[in-house]
Chain A
Amino acid sequence: MTERKGSLTRRKALLAGGAVIAGGLGGCADTGEQAETSEYGESDPMVTHERFGKGATSLTYQTSTFYTPIESESDQPAAAPALKTQHEEWAENHPDYRIEVEYPAFGEWKNNLLTSAAAGNASDGSTLDSKWVADFYEYLQPMNDYVTDIDDFFPFVRETAMRDGDLLAAWKYTGCRCLYYRQDILDTYNDGDPPTTWEELLTVGQDIVENEDMDAYMFQSSTALANLPYFWSSGGTLIDDEGAPVLDRSENRQALVAALGFIQDLVDTGVTPQRVASIEEVEALPREGRAGNLAMFVGNNDQIERNLKNPIEQADDIPDDRWQRWKVAKIPRPTDGEHTTGVGGWTEGTFIEGDSGEAAAMKEFIAKFVEPEAMGRYCEAAALLPTRESVFNDSDLYDPDTPYQDRFREFLQDGVARPARPIYSTIESEYVVAIENVVTGQSDPESAADAMIANVNEEYEAS
């Protein structure tokens, strides 16, 4: 890895020491001097679970087992061949390099990577959750010269992954939140149409609760992004152009109170049970739906395939087409508001400085994830949504048979990404606390909003 500028401080020394000890304990320490010639022969595969390429010069890369190119090792086996093709192309074009791959434990990944980056010891490249990107701004290296046609990305990508004109992360796919609803239930209670406004949802929901032995509507209270559309649809803005929180502005506070007030109405009317405050796992709501306990919920676009279609088709005692009674729609909005949805996804970034040798090889590896062909191939196989408009528009590149892709594409037009500023992590946790306080009756919407605003502002001023 190339050396970075900056003097050695006590903090850096401590962090470096910690990283070395951690690396040593984990058996990850460098094993010796770099070999001049490659140790891999003709018979060795070009791409394995732990290594991409066969060159003599090694680069380091961290990712998740979701993104391994080896099917048998993958948490997402359907997508592995697409990644294998992509990595093989890179390896053939870079015969002098190989990438040593690590798969860190998810819970520790971000913190360890951030600590290593602060010490100047980060891996050369890494996969990053799109919500991590802002925390790594100081350490990520620009990719502008390697990624083509940056304007082709959806606007939320450019807003989040770019800083001062530099593209710091290659956003390889996205996902959005939407309303999942039981068509058969809404046929009975709303003439087959999903509720589009909060008022409609409350009315339909109460009818369902009164007449059916099931809960009407649930959401993941512990996930801010699933619930921020209520705030954004009410006209709220979290952060200004300078990165400062603006929740205390009258219109934003009003939007926050409206969003929390809606959530309170859902619980008070019985449309949503108080137990949403204990829902943490993303799979919990479709599980309730499959069991016939729930009529509507807010979920991620990929759940139709992962948590509804596949499990239902695999179950022996349920007709295979039962999943088809689940449809998707936009998340309900206030009567005078706009539809919005929260968009997320994963990115790739590099910490290696420069534009030659190892740095160029790693940047080309990262850029490959967002080449239209590679992106289309991967998103199609993994039932994910591309971040480039051109990929969506080209059926040769992207033509998935996953249900409701056209609807998701439509929802993406209303997509809002998490603000790419470090204060967002505080906003996120405070919003979850405010929602849970309202759901459990510990606060009313006004005081929950005021407490949230005060805590966010205090955190921002102190940082």
Chain B
Amino acid sequence: MSTADTAAERLLERASDVIRRLLDHPLLWLAPALLALAVFQLYPMAEAILMSLTNESLIRPSFEFVGLEQYVRLASDPQFWEMIRITAIYAFFSVVLHVLLGLVLALAIDYGVRRGLRGHLTTRVSVLLAWIVPGIIIGLVWKVMLVESQFGAVNHFLGVLGIGPVPFRSDPTLALISTIIAGTWRGTAFTMIMIYGGLQRVPQRLYEAARVDGAGRWDRFRHVTLPQLKPVLFITTVLVTIYALNTFDLIFALTGGGPGRATQVLALFMYQEAFQDYALGRGAAIAVVMLVANLLLTGVYLYAFDVGDEI
């Protein structure tokens, strides 16, 4: 074998070694996702953070860096704290109702499937239909249903029963409850499908072992189902919390934040600042606050669910 052949073989071997190492390295496979993440997520996020440090406005050609002024202004604005309160109420009840109703529905469907009962597929599809409709449409549909006169379907029906008219949208408390119910009606399908998926992963032998040990239905649910569902419940709760904290479309269409500011959540406030008052800097500051709130709550859930090793 000539020296040239040996060199070529060595070169080929080295090249294939480099290619193999590259293919074995996770970076190559992660690169497309990382690139998309950087372009479509991290860059806009960095822009938003930078913008929140300015007084940028759409109706003024120039702007300046103002440091943390937008955040200081928010912190000293009583309206902002009132919106934090409303957002917290909305998010808390939304998350609780989403998870509880999702769990109940998933258990019911799971029970139906195991018992071979009819109608479980229709139930799943019906519930999912609400989820695939855009939030703005859901908001408009509920708005029409809740009109406070004979033209509103719900009040018309209540009127037949001699009740009402109920001020679903003009009473501050009822307006907030209406938004929570409409949001839950829409989003429960998501939690149901997540939890139902989780239920399929619970090994049957665990239930059989529990039965052998004399565990009743409640004990099996508490000591087998719930612990097995913990990772799914964690992910579901995190996602539903993010969804609830960032809800904009449904509330915008249903109440527009009113009456007054009774249903004005942070996402709506951000829209108003950025796209009605054209104060991009202040709108970006609210967006950053929402980002921090989402991250903090995710941290809290991670600690509370204690699922660090399981996800």
Contact = CB atoms under 8 A, between A and B. Distances in A.
A245 to B, nearest CB: 13
A222 B73 CA distance: 27
B50 to A, nearest CB: 9
Interface stretch (B6-14, B19-27, B208-216, B275-283): B275-283
A278 B167 contact: yes
A14 B256 CA distance: 30
A57 interface: no
Most buried by A among B151, B172, B278, B279: B278
A114 B277 CA distance: 12
Interface stretch (A88-96, A234-242, A438-446): A438-446
Interface of B: 47, 55-61, 63, 73, 77, 79, 147-151, 165, 167-172, 256, 258-262, 272, 275-279, 282
Given A433-B261, A440-B259, A293 B279 contact: no
A11 B56 contact: yes
Given A114-B59, A458-B77, A293 B258 contact: no
A425 to B, nearest CB: 6
Contacts of A210: none
A11 B170 contact: no
A94 B179 CA distance: 54
Contacts of B60: 138, 463
A348 interface: no
A433 B260 contact: yes
Contact of B276 (A276, A425, A439): A425
A287 B144 CA distance: 14
Nearest to B261: A433
A278 B148 contact: yes
A440 B172 contact: yes
Given A275-B167, A278-B148, A278-B170, A440 B260 contact: yes
A85 interface: no
B47 A14 contact: yes
A293 B77 CA distance: 42
A264 B84 CA distance: 28
Nearest to B272: A429
A455 interface: yes
Nearest to A442: B260
B57 A274 contact: no
A282 interface: no
A278 B169 contact: yes
Contacts of A11: 56, 63
Contacts of A111: 275
B170 A275 contact: yes
B59 to A, nearest CB: 5
Contact of B259 (A138, A278, A455): A278
A41 B77 CA distance: 63
A6 to B, nearest CB: 7
A111 B279 CA distance: 12
Contacts of B55: 462
A435 to B, nearest CB: 9
Interface string A424-463: 0110010011101101101100000000000100110011
Given A278-B169, A278-B258, A463-B277, 18 more contacts: A111-B275, A114-B278, A138-B60, A222-B256, A222-B258, A275-B170, A277-B169, A277-B258, A278-B148, A433-B258, A434-B260, A436-B258, A436-B259, A436-B260, A439-B259, A442-B172, A459-B277, A463-B57
A92 to B, nearest CB: 38
Most buried by A among B47, B55, B56, B256: B256
A457 to B, nearest CB: 12
Interface residues of A, number: 40
B77 A442 contact: no
Contacts of B165: 275
B149 A293 contact: yes
24 contacts: A11-B56, A135-B58, A137-B59, A138-B60, A275-B167, A276-B170, A277-B259, A278-B148, A278-B167, A287-B151, A291-B150, A293-B149, A293-B150, A433-B261, A436-B259, A436-B260, A437-B259, A440-B262, A442-B262, A443-B260, A455-B79, A458-B77, A459-B279, A462-B73
A106 B277 CA distance: 18
A51 to B, nearest CB: 30
Given A114-B58, A440-B172, A462 B77 contact: no
Contacts of A429: 272, 276
Contact of A288 (B56, B149, B167): B149
A278 B152 CA distance: 12
A118 interface: yes
Instruction: Enumerate the 6 nearest inter-chain pairs by beta-carbon distance, A residue then B residue, closest first.
Output: A277-B170, A278-B169, A437-B260, A277-B259, A275-B148, A436-B259
A155 interface: no
A318 B307 CA distance: 68
Nearest to B148: A275
Nearest to B47: A14
Nearest to B279: A463
A422 B63 contact: no
A340 to B, nearest CB: 25
Nearest to A276: B170
Given A276-B170, A429-B272, A462-B279, A6 B260 contact: no
B302 to A, nearest CB: 35
A118 B280 CA distance: 13
B166 to A, nearest CB: 10
Contacts of B168: 278
A440 B277 contact: no
Contacts of B149: 275, 288, 293
Interface in A79-133: 111, 114-115, 118
Contacts of A425: 276-277
A422 B148 CA distance: 34
A280 interface: yes
A135 B150 CA distance: 40
A403 B287 CA distance: 50
A274 B148 CA distance: 10
B68 to A, nearest CB: 14
Most buried by A among B258, B272, B275: B258
A440 B59 contact: no
Nearest to B273: A459
Contacts of B171: 274, 440
Interface string A401-431: 0000000000000000000001001100100
Contacts of B58: 114-115, 118, 135
A419 B164 CA distance: 41
Nearest to B147: A278
A14 B168 CA distance: 43
A439 B170 contact: yes
A389 B96 CA distance: 62
A299 B260 CA distance: 22
Nearest to A15: B58
A458 B259 CA distance: 22
A161 to B, nearest CB: 17
